Every structure is written in C-alpha cells, then in structure tokens.
Structure 1
Amino acid sequence: MKYSKKLSDTIHCLAFIALGEKEHLTSTRIAESVKTNPAYIRQLMAALKRAGLISNTQGQANACLTRPADQITMLDIYRAVEGDKPLLHLDVDTNPECGIGIHVQLSIGDFYREIQETAEQKMREITLQDIIDRYHEKIKNLPIDTDQAEIGKEGLADE
C-alpha cells in the first residue's frame, strides 16, 4: 500500500522557507533537501500558495510565509496539500452480499471518524513554529563534531 508523504514534505518545505527567509530558495535547492525532484516541490508550493500560506512570484526564488510560523497549524498545512482526504481509509470493495463485511466496515468507519476528529484537534494545536522549535532542540543535542551540527549552527547558507 502506498501512503502519502505530502504532509511531511510540505512541512519540510515550509520549515526550509522559514529557516532561510533571507535567502533565495529555489525549488531545486529545496528538492535536494527533501530528496525529490523540483517539479514535485513546485506542486507543493503551488498548493501552499493557493491556500494562502506562502506568497511568491512565479519563476522567482522568493517564497515567504504569509503569516508568522506560530499562526500556521499542521492542519492548515494538511488541508493545503491533502484537502479533505481522511487520514484512514475504509475498504469499500467488500462483498455487498456479506452482512459481516458491510457492517464491520460501517463499524470501523465510526471509529475512523473519531480518530480523524482527534487527529485534527491535535493538528490544530501544533504550529509550524513548534516544529521549528523542535528542530532547533534536535540540532542543539547533536554531537559537536558532526557535519549536521555545523549545518544547524550555521543555517542554510552552508548546506
């Protein structure tokens, strides 16, 4: 089963933009960090722009957040790239003549809705700033002699 990494990749992009706000960040540069292709990054950026989370000029490396990172929630980001897609999905291809199959799926659906509501509530509480703060905590706890620690201390300019 293939699962979506859009939320993770999009948060990565937004953190990259927030941490490198004085730099001109191209989709190629961000794609290298995400380890993907620039076209995919441009798709994510277009979704973020449509959602009003970033602004930029097409063809220019000048993306910026439209509001402070502490005012952008994980749910805002999720909705920007996944829309109303639920986190969990039912198997809708069960035998329609099997009462167990149908009613088990309907029962599971009740619990999936509860899980969705709980997850969305938590996603409303987590901001991009929380993620950036956690990033800084993790960088601070890296061993001093690693290249990653130097990248964290120096910022994006040395990547």
Structure 2
Amino acid sequence: MLAYVQIGAGWDLSSKKIAASIEANPSVVRRLMAMLVKGGLLTSHPGMVQPALARPAAEISLLDVYRAVDPTALLHVDEKTNPQCPIGGNIQETLNEVYDQVQQAAEAEMAKVSLQQIIDGIVGRAKARKMMA
C-alpha cells in the first residue's frame, strides 16, 4: 500500500482502488492504512482521499512497516505440549531460543531494506514489462 500511495501520487488512492490492486477487501485496506497512520508512516485526512507517506520512502524500512502492521513474532511455539513428557516439557523453551534468534536476524535484514528500494524494484519491473510488451 505504501508503494502504491507513493507511485500512484495523483491517481485515485481510494481504499477501493488500492484494494483492487492487492486483491483485498477495501475494509482491510482501510484497517491497514489506519495502522500505518498510527505507526507514523502514512498521513491521511478524514473526508479526503489523499493519503501520503509521512516521510521520504528512503527513510522507511521494511522493519518500520512490519512493526506498524504486525508487531507479533514471525514464529510461534505451540503452547499445548505435555509438560510430563521429556520432549513436550522442554521443546517450548528450546524453540523459543531458536525462534528469538530467527526473529532478530529477520528484523536486522528488514531494517536494511527501504521502501524506496521496493518502489524502485516495482517501477523497474513495470518499465521492463512495458518495453517487452
């Protein structure tokens, strides 16, 4: 959505139009946009269909977006294991340690990628496809 808002500045940026692009319900788009506004990544004004990035795309990382939209951990341990079993009683703590490492590594990588990089990739691919068509 953030890429759509930036690339499509001047287009119809209604939730209905954005929803058609990502094949989602407009209510889902509105909910996500509200999260992005609350997360300081998007500006929006009630009664106006003019969302805009709250700061330059180069200053918005995928980590910023992830934290604004879904701040939960990427991986989750099943809480329903048998504590009397040597495996079931120890797997949660063991997996939590591993999953914490995976989470930290994923977040470190997301912090390295800017929204501008994503936008550049989209625009580049769109231009290449247009040239080949």
Distance in 2 separating the partners of 1:145 and 1:125: 31
87, 105, 121: which is aligned to 2:92?
A: 105
Partner in structure 1 of residue 117 of structure 2: 130
1:121 aligned to 91, 108, 113, which one? 108
Query: RMSD in angstroms over aligned alpha carbons?
Result: 1.4
Aligned pairs for 1:1-159 within 5 A: 13-83=1-71, 85-142=72-129, 144=131, 146=133
Gaps of 5+ in 2: none
Aligned-partner SS, 1:100: coil
Distance 1:116 1:94 in 2: 22
Matches of 1:79 and 1:88, distance apart in 2 = 15
Measure, in 2, the Cα distance between the counterparts of 1:86 and 1:21.
33
* Structure 1 residues 143 and 14: alpha-carbon distance in aligned structure 2, compared to 1, 3 A threshold: closer
Q: Give 1:59 shift.
A: 2.8
| CA displacement 1:19-57 (0-9 Å, x = unmatched) | 012234100000000111111100000000111111111
Q: Which amino acid aligns with 2:59?
A: Q
Structure 1 counterpart of 2:40, which letter?
Answer: G
Cα shift at 1:143: 6.2
Q: CA deviation at 1:72?
A: 0.4
Offset at residue 145 of structure 1 (A): 5.0
Unaligned runs of 5+ residues in structure 1 are: 1-12, 147-159
**Aligned-residue offset at 1:133:** 1.2
Once residues 91 and 122 of structure 1 are traced to their aligned partners in structure 2, the CA distance between those partners, rounded to angstroms, is 26
Output the TM-score relative to the length of structure 2: 0.93
Alignment size in residue pairs: 133
